[in-house]
Amino acid sequence: MLELVSGVLSVMGVKNIITATDGEEGFKKFQKEKPDIVITDWLMEPIDGIEMTLKIRRDGISVDRLTPVIVMTGFSAITRVAQARDIGATEFMVKPFTANELVKRIQSIIERPRDFVEADSFFGPDRRRRKKDEFKGSDKRSRRE
Amino acid sequence: MVEYKNVNIIKASFRLMQKVGMGPVRPGVIEECEKFIADNNIDFLPWAQSCLDDLKTVLAETKIDGETLNDDVRQELIAPIMQIKASGAMFQNKPLTELAACLLHFLENIKTLDADVMQIIKANEVVLTAFLKDEEHTNVLTPTKEKLIIELRAACNRYGTKNEIGSFF
């Protein structure tokens, strides 16, 4: 899967792809290379992608706690999505995935970056979607009696 | 509603947009990526077989007590199935993904580990093994495979109804 995702990113035009086979090696490389985006699998040993994301977000030595993290996994239950969100993942991607889904998530990270929330029990991207102001039509609902 | 104290908002950074620009991706790039995925010749079967072997080991070592399924056992059962579900379709084996997705959903929602559950898991494992061995139609959902998936889903649903969990599918 690592080979496949790296290959897709390469075809997409991503120039510098750094790979690791588990969360421990991943965090070391994150610290050294300071990547623009992290894409991680959920299940890895000895340190999984969830723990690595937690380290990126909350460890005092993390070189950039605001780095966008995409968590990829075969899990799709809503509880898993919530778990990934609660540890500060930026995007959640269910495998098997299509290239289009990966491109969309990377585009979203680049073009619609989120604020970060720092609280006692949470550090991660703001879970609330930003209010859209583009709508210019008449406001029919507020005129209802 | 949970009330958080000491909340600090860090404004979004547009650093990446400044670095790579914005707008649609180059025409054709998504098709090229899809082709890369479709044409990959990574041999997925030995790895999938090792996942099924892991599942067999867990099944052999798991004690059926009819008690609440604890998270560690659930996780051990789920891990190999999730890996097969995640990878099958990406390595030209959609039927494996489809069947593993059913079993994953079942395992994530059951409450206890009893003899019926074990039978359902074992039946799924046998069919997954058969799908894996069908090297002639790896990526084809043949009528036989489709029928087997329907039957296994029905078994999950019967279990759900019997145990007042409700239908799974």
Closest CA to A69 of B31, B22, A86: A86
* pLDDT for the residue numbered A34: 96
Whether residue B104 contacts residue B82, with contact meaning beta carbons closer than 8 Å, is answered with yes
Closest CA to A90 of A69, A59, A66: A69
Could you give the angle at which helices A23-33 and A49-58 cross, rounded to 10 degrees?
A: 30
* pLDDT for the residue numbered B136: 77
ipTM confidence score: 0.85
Write the CA distances from B137 to A77, B2, B126, integer angstroms: 29, 53, 17
Instruction: Name chain B contacts of A116, Cβ cutoff 8 Å.
Output: 9-10, 12
pTM as predicted: 0.87
Q: DSSP class of residue B68?
A: B
pLDDT above 80 for B24: yes
Q: How many CB pairs below 8 Å do chains A and B form together?
A: 114
* pLDDT for the residue numbered A4: 92
Closest CA to A26 of A64, A66, A53: A53
pLDDT above 60 for B67: yes
pLDDT in tens, A16-26: 999 999 999 99
In DSSP terms, which residues pair with A8 in a beta bridge? none
| B120 vs B154: CA distance, rounded Å | 10
**Please, what sign has the CA dihedral across residues B104, B106, B112, B115?**
negative
Binding-site residues on chain B for chain A (CB distance < 8 A): 4-14, 16-17, 19-20, 22, 25-26, 29-30, 32-34, 36-37, 40, 42, 79, 82-83, 85-91, 97, 100, 104-105, 108
CA distance A32 to chain B (A): 19
Which residue type, as a one-letter code, is found at position B61?
A: E
